[in-house]
Amino acid sequence: MALTLQVTDIMKSYDGKAALKGCSFVFDSAGVYALMGPNGSGKSTFLRICALLEKPDHGDVSYFSGEGVLPPDRGLRRRITMVLPRVGVFNTSVFGNAAYGLHMRGYPGRETERRVHRALEAVGLVPKQRQNALTLSSGETQRLGIARALVIEPELLFLDEPTASIDEENRSIVEEIILRLKGEGRTTVVITTHDREQAERLAGRVILMHAGGIVGEKPKIE
């Protein structure tokens, strides 16, 4: 893994109510990590802070590589990405949606086509690449959100409840995508889930959260 993420004593409150209470963890190897806990345990808040989408009230989020500590600048943000539970799409084709981030980053057309085709193939949406994204089912939209993340070839991918509110067929496809990334060993994937069986199916390490704290970790699953 090129990136190591160290989270130290993170605290976060909203309107005086504590969402996170001194959470610490180190993500130091490629594979899949699962943050598991009931609704309201702080999983999504912890994930957003790790992904640099929110700042903690207290504590540190540090990314390291071979050069040492990395500043939280645009260069780092291009190496990490997050997919939210409800993926928003643009009124354009599936291909255009997947390519959006690359266009914003100024990638040339040929490289964009290569990356988008590879990402859509990974999520099983190549047959629908010319279809308007607004016509996709909720499960297909979730897969498109993952494709949009994969095109930037992130070193660290955060997935917040990636199979929530989608049907069983799409749930299986999303899980297969996560397991494929795990098998390739190039990307660290951190997911949130309240489903114990899913966490054990997908993750090498399962981090247990409750009432805003990390309360334990299940042994590494091979």
pTM of the model: 0.92
What CATH number has the domain bearing residue 6? 3.40.50.300
Within a domain: 4: yes
The whole-number pLDDT of residue 75 equals: 86
Q: Is 176 a member of any domain?
A: no
> Domain range holding 67?
1-72+187-222
Distance CA 205, CA 217 (A): 7
Give the pLDDT confidence score for residue 64 in this predicted structure. 92
Rounded Cα distance between 86 and 5, Å, is: 25
Predicted confidence at residue 134, as pLDDT, reads 95
3-state SS assignment for residue 52: coil
Which amino acid would we find at residue 215?
A: V
Tens digit of pLDDT at every position of the chain (222 positions) = 468 999 999 999 999 999 999 999 999 888 999 999 999 999 999 999 999 999 999 999 999 987 788 988 888 988 999 998 888 899 999 999 999 988 888 888 899 999 999 999 999 999 999 999 999 999 999 999 999 999 999 999 999 999 988 899 999 999 999 999 999 988 999 999 999 999 999 999 999 999 999 999 886 555
**pLDDT at residue 65 in the model:** 87
Is 89 part of a structural domain of the chain?
no
